Amino acid sequence: MSRDEKIRSMLTEEEKGMIDEELSHYPTTRAGGIEALKIVQRRRGWISDDLLLAVAHHVGMAPAELDRSATFYNLIFRRPIGRHVVLVCDSVSCWLMGADRLRDRLRHRLGVGAGETTADGRFTVLPNVCLGACDRAPAVMIDETLHGPLTEDELDRLLDSQMP
């Protein structure tokens, strides 16, 4: 199989169907590029170069243009990430309610700092702007679930409960 064919066959029929459904919401295909990346990322964790090419090809965008979008948005991952993504709010309400203590606990407990993934591939820790949950400060989002207000020990228990 040539590289081109290999890339074309990377997306599943299900993914293509979901992407086409999103594209139908817009008069131009490029408008659906970011939704397409999210559909693929949700299934595969992150967007490798080959996946980026595959999506660009399917959507009909120049790969460089799609990559410009992909690298602009902080929640499109262009590098491998852990099975769970831990977003720690670093904005002001959480900061003044003790977000630094949560970050220290994560560093201590998982041995990783901001932007790093644990050696066992379970967690990636990322700082994130205000999660829109300042009444629940300090707040953390694990994958797609919001948690807060959290103490260090509660955070520990949450990490324990993330399987696998």
Partner 1 sequence: MNDDRPLTGQIRRHGPPPTLSEYEDCGGYAPVRTMLSHMTPEDVQQEVMNSNLRGRGGAGFPTGQKWSFVPMGADAPRPKYLVVNADEMEPGSFKDRLLLEGHPHRLIEGIIIAAYAIQAECAYVFVRWAYHPSVIALGRAIREARETGLLGHNLLGSGFSLTVHVHTSAGRYICGEETALLNALEGHPVIPRSKPPYPQVCGLWGKPTIVQNVETVCNLPHILAHGAKWFRNLGKGKDAGTKLYAVSGRVKQPGVWELPIGTSMREILEHHAGGMQEGYAFRAMQPGGGSTGFLTEDHLDLAMDFDSLSSVGSRLGTGTAIVLDDRTCPVGFVRNLEHFFAQESCGWCTPCRDGLPWVERLLADIDNGNGRPQDVEILERHVTLLGPGRTYCAHAPGAMEPLKSALRYFRSDFDRHIHDQRCPWKSQGTEA
Q: How far is the CB of 93 from ligand FES (least distance, A)?
A: 4
Prior bond of 127 cis (ω within 30°): no
Which part of the chain contacts partner 1 (CB under 8 A), choosing from 7-15, 111-119, 130-138, 152-160?
A: 130-138
- Alpha carbon separation from 69 to 32, 36, 52, 108 (Å, rounded): 11, 11, 11, 34
CB 150 within 8 A of CB 138: yes
DSSP 30: G
Chosen residue from 52, 86, 140, 141 binding partner 1 by CB under 8 A: 141
DSSP string, 132-156: S-GGG-S-EEETTEEE-S--HHHHH
- 32 counts as binding partner 1 under rule CB under 8 A: yes
Which of partner 1, ligand FES, none has residue 72 at its interface (CB below 5 to 8 Å by kind)? partner 1
Q: Which residues bind partner 1 (CB under 8 A)?
A: 25-28, 30-35, 37-38, 61, 68-69, 72-76, 87, 90-93, 95-98, 100-101, 104, 128-137, 141, 144-146
